[in-house]
Structure 1
Amino acid sequence: MHEETSMHDLKPKGLKKGAVSKWGAITIGLAATAPAYSLTGALGHGAAESGYQLPIVFILSVIPMYFVALSYKHLTTAAPDAGTIFTWGTKAIGPRFGWLGGWALLLASILAGVAATQITVNALIALMGLKDSPTWLNLVIAILFILSTTYLTALGAKESSRTTMLLTAMQYGVLVVLAAILMLRVLQGDAVATANPYSQEWWNAFAIACLEEFLGGCL
């Protein structure tokens, strides 16, 4: 006969209720966009695709992102779980799809971490005034970055969310100040010689040459 499993030995699955505050959840959502990384790692590619119309492309990109957020809201309401695609894919389509989706999400997170590490290495090397850094230095900085993020994750949801709130506030604060300084210098005509003068055409969506350029800037 099979022994009955004691209910006292079972532990609740998923994130503990109340572990992350409302502001913590909002901050995690804002941090998920990786504002500093998105600008340093993707701004150049977006400008290469959409040209001077990249500002309006950024604004129009909010529309599809709104519907993505709306779909997450409905999925969370129907099946509250921290597993996202793993849970929702399993319930909606099947366990194989959920399994593949979960591993794909994990792989994407790992690759994004590697890409962010490279940008961190480049920034630190530039701050140290080094033009060509040795490979071992890049490796040490990357390992320290990965270990620190792993440690913060292991501390738990509350501690990691607090750290995320602090780092996100710093990111957005620095970006807002930097953007204001750059725009002020352009408007005052005090920009570098290679800077283009400000133009209202930057906000004209109809100036985008073709759909491919628009989609390239969005991506």
Structure 2
Amino acid sequence: MGFWKTITRKEDPSVYQDKDSHLIRSLRVRDFLALGVGTIVSTSIFTLPGEVAAMHTGPAVAISFVIAAVVAGLVAFAYAEMSAAMPFAGSAYSWITVVFGEFFGWIAGWALLAEYFIALAFVGSGLSANLRPLLANIGIKLPASLSNAFGTSGGVVDLISLIVIALVAILVSQGVKDAARVENVLVTLKVLAILLFIVVGATAVKHSNFVPFIPKYRMTSNGAFGGWQGIYAGVSMIFLSYIGFDSIAANSAEAINPGKTMPRGILGSLAIAVVLFVAVALVLVGVLPYQKYANSAEPVGLALRSIGHPVVASVVQIVAVVGMFTALIGMTMAGSRLIYSFGRDGMLPKFLGTLDEKNRPNHALWTLAIIAILIGAMFPFAFLSQLISAGTLIAFMFVSLGIYALRPREGKDIPTPAFKMPFYPVMPCLAFLASLFVFWGLDIDAKIYAGVWFLLGLVIYFTYGVRHSYLNKTEKD
């Protein structure tokens, strides 16, 4: 078989349907809404609006959030159609393998895997950084060796990050239905805390803090500030906040009535997240001049204390830490299903694609958790944020273009989905260009790390995946 035919060999969607049939369909719309909101509205809603306002946008941070939401929304429509038509584990990896072929599916999935490995370690480290001050207030202080990544500020291992990732893995290993129940409760608490901040903070908003809404453009040590250049720089930083809806699609093989459940879960959770992000951003810059948030790790707490609400600030901070578990749960569920799908197809060792006696992909789950713990132990918090958006945006571009290959097959070998991306064929192109637009705005380090990860993926594919994949074995039989 020629090289091009090898890398473009496509999986029959009925094969994935059969392979994933042992996964238990137990998740409803409310579970996916909680999963999506819990993953999207993570630690970033409590920190990112103030940081971006101080570094790049001023009061126009709300515009950056809206633009980033439009980009994410365009891609979310593509995700909604794909997941409704092909409710398989692995999301973009499985879809692209069906519509474009094995190699392109691997690249899309490999890019997403970077998101899950790094984001899990990133949120674990962020939870640790926010929990340690709360513990210190009650007299519990960990030594530097147990508070930081290896070689960072005297650190050996971030013990809290290790523990929370392991605890979440234990929870998810009991089954997605139990994990979804916990997720629903924690997301409710987190949303209530956000609404509490919005209501209390809105009483102290000053119009003068919004003037000028878009500051004059200038270059700073952090890059562009003010003008549309600063807003664009803010979009690239903020986009990290919206990528969590992929975690919903990765679990579509466990959805009840996925044709309706998946689009409602994906688009609904994104809509809720946009409203919350924009509202928090506007209240933050309205309460205090945006310059006050420079180098602040807790802008929400700073704003509340400045207007005389220290108790509310403490409550929000505590709930914020607890709420980070929702992101860990969502990413652990999604990442483990992606690794399971790699093993299922022979792209990685097949034990990763096996289910336990209760039809749970726990081999993949513990592989994800152990690698995330190791990454969090080896790399500092700031380093971990570089690769998350880059890998996800690559997958987003594949999925957007994949709609063009999907449509001609709907109603034939792929069922006609209950939901379709509107304004076809224009919107898929806009989704692709919008994702490319955000990717282009990432800093050079993110692009370099993405390139290194891409090359590693090529090595694994051509030395292992291309020979061990089930498509290769099927052709030989």
TM-score bracket for this pair, using the shorter chain length: 0.7 to 0.9
Q: Residue 212 of structure 1 aligns with which residue?
A: 229
The answer to whether the 8 A contact 2:58-2:215 is kept is: no
Which amino acid in 2 is paired with 1:61?
Answer: A
CA 1:155 to 1:145, structure 2 compared with 1: closer, same or farther past 3 Å?
A: same
Give the alignment of 1:176-191 within 5 angstroms: 176-187=195-206
Q: Which runs of 5+ in 2 are unaligned?
A: 1-17, 149-157, 218-224, 237-477
- What does residue 43 of structure 1 align with? 49
**Alpha-carbon distance in 1 for matches of 2:135, 2:87:** 46
* Number of residue equivalences: 199
Residue in structure 2 matched with residue 122 of structure 1 by the alignment: 129
| Equivalent residue number for residue 20 of structure 1 | 27
- CA offsets 1:174-210 (integer angstroms, 9 cap, x no match): 12212322232345xxxxxxxx9443754x7999944
1:64 maps onto 2:71 in alignment: yes
**Residues 49 and 213 of structure 1 are in contact (CA less than 8 Å); yes or no, is this contact kept in structure 2?**
yes
CA 1:20/1:27 → structure 2, altered by over 3 Å: closer, same or farther?
same
Q: Cα offset for 1:98?
A: 1.3
User: Offset at 1:172?
Assistant: 1.5
Contact kept? 1:20, 1:158, Cα under 8 Å: yes
1:3-23 CA deviation, whole Å, 9 max, x = no partner?
A: xxxxxxxx7516746410111
- Select 1:84's aligned residue among 85, 88, 91: 91
Alignment pair present for 1:154 and 2:173: yes
2:112 counterpart (105, 109, 131): 105
The answer to whether the 8 A contact 2:215-2:227 is kept is: no
| Match of residue 467 from structure 2 | none
Q: 1:160 to 1:15 in 2, by over 3 A?
A: farther
**Cα deviations by residue, 1:52-99 (Å, 9 ceiling, x for unpaired):** 210232233322222111111111233222321111121222211212
Distance 1:205 1:90 in 2: 46
Structure 1 residue 43 displacement after superposition: 3.1
Tell me if structure 1 keeps the 8 A contact 2:43–2:123. yes
Q: 1:14–1:106: structure 2 CA closer, same or farther, 3 Å change rule? A: farther
**What SS does the corresponding residue of 2:136 show, helix, strand or coil?**
coil
> Which residue in the other structure is 2:398 paired with?
none
Counterpart amino acid of residue 27 in structure 2: V
Amino acid at match of 1:180: V
Q: RMSD between aligned alpha carbons? A: 2.9
Q: Give the Cα separation in 1 of the matches to 2:42 and 2:211.
A: 25
Q: Mark the CA change 1:121 to 1:89 in structure 2 (over 3 Å): closer, same or farther.
A: same
1:169 aligns with 2:188: yes
% identical equivalent positions: 20
Q: Does 114-123 or 175-184 show the bigger shift?
A: 175-184
The range that moved more, 169-178 or 35-44, is 35-44
TM-score normalised by L of structure 2: 0.38
Q: 2:101 aligns with which of 94, 103, 108?
A: 94
- Give me the TM-score of the superposition, normalised by structure 1: 0.77
1:136 aligns with 2:154: no
Larger relative contact order (CA 8 Å, sep ≥ 6): 1
SS at match of 1:185: coil
Contact 1:28–1:164 (CA under 8 A) maintained in structure 2: yes
- Please give the alpha-carbon distance, in whole angstroms, between the structure 2 residues aligned to 1:211 and 1:200: 16
Retained in 1: the 8 A contact 2:64–2:235?
yes
Confirm or deny: 8 A CA contact 1:85 1:101 kept in the other structure.
yes
Quote the residue 1:193 is aligned against: none
